[in-house]
């Protein structure tokens, strides 16, 4: 298939998109670009506007204002030229009544002219082969989620949109899905996805946009965002190994708290602190926690991140 | 597999795995067939019963005519008492050459019939007695097919109603269910056109209608019900397709407005049930007021009913379908356009 590149290998260009529902500003001036082959994540708490943004890019909703270009085309109103090249997993699963997992996938795949054999491979890919003959309503939440991802993948789209694909997945299935998504990206496909798992986004995404209340608060590579925070490293020890006052005297320690279970030291120079602890043999239960996207979110919004 | 084939297959599977849908499509109309079929089984053959006293050629001729049923009573007095009581409309007594007829004037319709009948038999007997050949000859024959029993009228009506019910409900419920379960949104994101989606759903409706009609007519044709199809019954097929089309369009309209399956069911019932009564499905509209008949003329069920009656039992040809068929096509177009106008891919 010939690949229509946007300007400079850009797959998605979103410029100043707004969307109101009555008085509610669901999307409030969002702009971003996604490069070809990029893994792009949109993060944010419930109601941040992630789904609305994604659906505007997919061409399922019209923006009130602003422009969207997807693979060099305008997705709204329904643009049949784009449809075979994008794969979409909606946040709420969408299935036919009373069909088995295999039948669901075969039916959706056939809408794209995809053969039964390919559909079967896709089912294998998401680990549902042993559930192929189970009716959709008898699948577990995570299995249904995987089926709906399979329905987005089967026709091997150039751009994949996944709305909280890892919600409801057990840790094993989550990791399997990560592998699947990485393999897809490895074949040069572009992936845009939303998630509530900040740790997951750090692992998977080339870049993330952090949204809250319809606006993008920050957008960059996860590592860059975290580094930009200049947040302290936390060193956690079991309670009783080192006295709180003593810990305050260590070189490099800025702050100490002891909640009776563990002692936490904040530092911007972890190396000398760890050396002192090693010398004293006080390493039992030692944890080193560096800043994460969670801290970035806290820093941006002043609120704890709760998914 | 093409999108059209796989969508149709998905819907056929969904339908045949839905026990409630199967019941309402296939069994429910049969229940009505049983109730009405057995209720009216002898209605067409019910005869007037009169008392007969004595014996003679007139009594014998009446008995042979089969037009009335005779109850033999010993004495004229006892028979007259019965007539006075209102048990029987009339009594005929023959003793030698005198024929006595006493009737209850209170039951005008029946006594009139009996009077005419007995007078005719007596005249014939008189004529026969003269030995002269009759000068005028009467050739009576009924206009309907000789087998026109109530089942012949009931079957097309009940069948049309069953087809209407399943097509309206099928279309409306699929549309609402697909919208609610986001299947419509998902399909909208796939490179498949609205005509493909619509026509696959229509194919399912027509397929279900064919199975429904075959089952219904087969059971109505068993000796228990005794339906006799006319020679050109297969002309009912194009009628079935046109009828399904118009009910499909009603279903689409209902499905465009209703947000939940419950609402769709209520709307559909609200449309189909009154339509069934107004179209003469359960009882004829002959005695209905004129304005009601006018209303019924805009209802597709009335015309499907009419067309089915024409070809299934009246033995009429294809030209008898032109008017009902044309009206059904027109109805489909009008309602289809309205439904398309109100169609929504998703709620809100
Ligand atoms: N169809 C709609 N009508 C009215 N309001 C809507 C509609 N869709 C979304 N909203 C509102 O827009 C806001 C953003 O919703 P959106 O679904 O984009 O959030 P989200 O970031 O995807 O949240 P979640 O993490 O819960 O999926 C919410 O406040 C929601 O109530
Ligand atoms: Mg969402």
- A151 close contact with B: CB closer than 8 A: yes
Residue A71 lies in a domain: yes
A46 lines ligand 1 (CB under 6 A): yes
| Same domain for A203 and A178 | yes
| Same domain for A177 and A36 | yes
| Same domain for A68 and A201 | yes
| Same domain for A248 and A142 | no
Residue A4 lies in a domain: no
pLDDT digits (tens, 9 = 90+) for B230-281: 888 899 999 999 999 999 999 999 999 999 999 999 999 999 999 998 888 8
Residue A78 lies in a domain: yes
Cβ distance A106 to A116 under 8 Å? Answer: yes
Residue A124 lies in a domain: yes
Q: Which of A227, A260, A281 is the last residue of a domain?
A: A227
User: Quick one: tokens of B313?
Assistant: 């039992």
pLDDT digits (tens, 9 = 90+) for A218-252: 999 998 988 887 778 888 988 888 888 888 888 88
Distance CA A80, CA B190 (A): 8
pLDDT at B118: 84
| Same domain for A250 and A136 | no
Mean pLDDT of A9-25: 95
Q: Which of A20-24, A105-109, A243-247, B10-14 has the lowest mean pLDDT?
A: A243-247
pLDDT digits (tens, 9 = 90+) for B298-308: 899 999 999 99
- Angle between helix B261-278 and helix B150-180 axes, rounded to 10 deg: 160
Global pTM value: 0.80
| Same domain for A246 and A178 | no
The closest CB to that of A90, out of B5, B6, B185, belongs to B185
- The CB density around residue A2, as the number of other CB atoms within 10 Å, is 4
Q: Is the pLDDT of residue A7 over 60?
A: no
- B185 close contact with A: CB closer than 8 A: yes
The closest CB to that of B13, out of A78, A103, A110, belongs to A103
Question: What is the enclosing helix (H) or strand (E) of B154?
Answer: helix B150-180
Contact A107 B9 (CB under 8 A): yes
Chain mean pLDDT for chain B: 87
Please give the tally of structural domains in chain A. Answer: 2
pLDDT at A30: 97
What number is the ipTM of this complex?
A: 0.84
- The CB density around residue B229, as the number of other CB atoms within 10 Å, is 17
A30 lines ligand 1 (CB under 6 A): no
Chain mean pLDDT for chain A: 90
Residue A157 lies in a domain: yes
pLDDT digits (tens, 9 = 90+) for B177-234: 999 999 999 999 999 998 999 999 999 999 999 999 999 999 999 988 888 888 888 9
Residue A298 lies in a domain: no
The closest CB to that of A97, out of B14, B187, B190, belongs to B14
| Same domain for A258 and A124 | no
| Same domain for A163 and A261 | no
Residue pointed to by tokens 């992936």 = A191
Residue A31 exposed, middle or buried by CB count within 10 Å (0-12, 13-18, 19+): middle
| CATH, range B47-130 | 3.40.190.10
A51 lines ligand 1 (CB under 6 A): yes
| Same domain for A256 and A110 | no
pLDDT at B188: 93
Residue A69 lies in a domain: yes
A214 lines ligand 1 (CB under 6 A): no
| Same domain for A275 and A173 | no
The confidence band for B100, taking pLDDT boundaries of 50, 70 and 90, is: confident
Residue A295 lies in a domain: no
Q: Domain residues for A98?
A: 10-227
- B5 close contact with A: CB closer than 8 A: yes
Q: Which of A100-114, A231-245, B330-344 has the lowest mean pLDDT?
A: A231-245
Restricting to A residues 70-109, those with a Cβ less than 8 Å away from any Cβ of B are 78, 80, 83-84, 86, 88, 90, 92-99, 103, 106-108
Q: Which residue has the higher pLDDT, A191 or B88?
A: A191
Residue nearest atom 1 of ligand 1, based on CA coordinates:
B348
Give the per-residue SS3 of B30-96.
Answer: HHHHHHHHHHCCCHHHCCEEEEEEECCHHHHHHHHHCCEEEEECCCHHHHHHHHHHCCCCEEEEEEC
pLDDT at B74: 87
pLDDT at B148: 59
Q: Which of A208, A227, A246 is the last residue of a domain?
A: A227
Q: Which of A129-138, A145-154, A159-168, A285-294 has the lowest mean pLDDT?
A: A285-294
Domain harbouring A107, CATH code: 3.40.50.300
| Same domain for A20 and A137 | yes
Contact A83 B190 (CB under 8 A): yes
| Same domain for A264 and A208 | no
Distance CA A216, CA A40 (A): 13
pLDDT at B39: 77
Residue intervals of chain B classified under CATH 3.40.190.10 are 47-130
Share of chain A above pLDDT 70, in %: 96
């Amino acid at each position: 298939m010939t690949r229509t590149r946007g300007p400079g290998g850009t797959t998605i260009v979103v410029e100043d998109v707004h969307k109101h529902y009555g008085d509610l500003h669901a999307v409030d001036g969002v702009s971003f670009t996604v490069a070809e082959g990029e893994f792009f994540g949109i993060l944010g708490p419930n109601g941040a506007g992630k789904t609305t943004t994604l659906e505007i890019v997919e061409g399922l909703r019209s923006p009130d204002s602003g422009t969207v270009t997807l693979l060099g085309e305008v997705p709204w109103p329904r643009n049949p030229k784009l449809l075979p090249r994008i794969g979409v997993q909606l946040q709420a699963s969408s299935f036919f009544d009373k069909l088995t997992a295999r039948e669901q996938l075969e039916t959706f795949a056939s809408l794209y002219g995809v053969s039964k054999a390919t559909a079967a491979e896709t089912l294998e890919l998401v680990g549902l082969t042993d559930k192929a003959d189970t009716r959709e309503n008898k699948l577990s939440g995570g299995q249904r989620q995987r089926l709906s991802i399979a329905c987005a993948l089967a026709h091997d789209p150039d751009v994949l949109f996944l709305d909280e694909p890892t919600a409801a997945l057990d840790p094993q299935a989550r990791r399997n899905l990560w592998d699947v998504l990485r393999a897809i990206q490895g074949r040069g496909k572009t992936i845009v996805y939303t998630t509530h798992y900040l740790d997951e986004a750090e692992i998977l995404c080339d870049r993330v946009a952090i949204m809250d209340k319809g606006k993008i608060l920050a957008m960059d590579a996860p590592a860059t965002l975290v580094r930009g925070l200049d947040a302290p490293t936390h060193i956690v020890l079991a309670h009783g190994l080192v006295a709180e006052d003593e810990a305050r005297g260590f070189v490099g320690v800025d702050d100490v708290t002891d909640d009776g279970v563990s002692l936490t030291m904040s530092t911007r120079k972890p190396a000398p602190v760890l050396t002192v602890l090693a010398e004293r043999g006080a390493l039992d239960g030692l944890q080193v926690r560096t800043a994460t996207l969670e801290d970035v979110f806290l820093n941006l919004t002043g609120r704890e991140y709760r998914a | 597999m093409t999108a059209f084939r796989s969508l149709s297959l998905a819907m056929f599977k969904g339908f045949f795995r839905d026990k409630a849908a199967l019941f309402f499509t296939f069994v429910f109309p049969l229940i009505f067939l049983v109730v009405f079929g057995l209720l009216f089984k002898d209605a067409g053959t019910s005869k007037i019963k009169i008392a007969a006293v004595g014996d003679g050629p007139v009594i014998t001729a009446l008995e042979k005519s089969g037009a009335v049923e005779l109850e033999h009573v010993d004495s004229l007095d006892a028979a007259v008492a019965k007539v006075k009581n209102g048990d029987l409309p009339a009594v005929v007594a023959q003793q030698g050459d005198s024929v006595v007829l006493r009737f209850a004037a209170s039951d005008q319709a029946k006594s009139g019939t009996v009077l005419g009948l007995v007078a005719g038999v007596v005249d014939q007997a008189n004529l026969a007695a003269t030995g002269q050949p009759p000068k005028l000859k009467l050739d009576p024959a009924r206009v309907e097919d000789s087998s026109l029993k109530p089942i012949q009228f009931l079957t097309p009506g009940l069948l049309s109603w069953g087809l209407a019910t399943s097509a309206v409900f099928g279309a409306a419920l699929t549309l609402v269910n697909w919208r609610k379960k986001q299947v419509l949104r998902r399909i909208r994101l796939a490179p498949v056109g609205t005509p493909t989606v619509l026509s696959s759903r229509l194919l399912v409706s027509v397929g279900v209608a064919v199975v429904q009609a075959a089952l219904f007519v087969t059971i109505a044709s068993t000796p228990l019900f005794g339906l006799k199809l006319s020679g050109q019954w297969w002309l009912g097929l194009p009628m079935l397709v046109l009828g399904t089309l118009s009910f499909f369009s009603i279903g689409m309209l209902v499905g465009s407005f209703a947000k939940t399956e419950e609402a769709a069911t209520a709307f559909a019932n609200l449309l189909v049930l009154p339509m069934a009564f107004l179209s003469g499905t359960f009882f004829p509209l002959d005695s209905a007021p004129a304005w009601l008949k006018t209303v019924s003329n805009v209802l597709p069920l009335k015309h499907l009913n009419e067309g089915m009656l024409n070809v299934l039992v009246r033995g009429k040809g294809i030209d008898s379908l032109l008017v009902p068929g044309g009206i059904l096509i027109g109805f489909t177009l009008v309602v289809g356009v309205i439904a398309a106008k109100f169609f929504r891919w998703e709620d809100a």
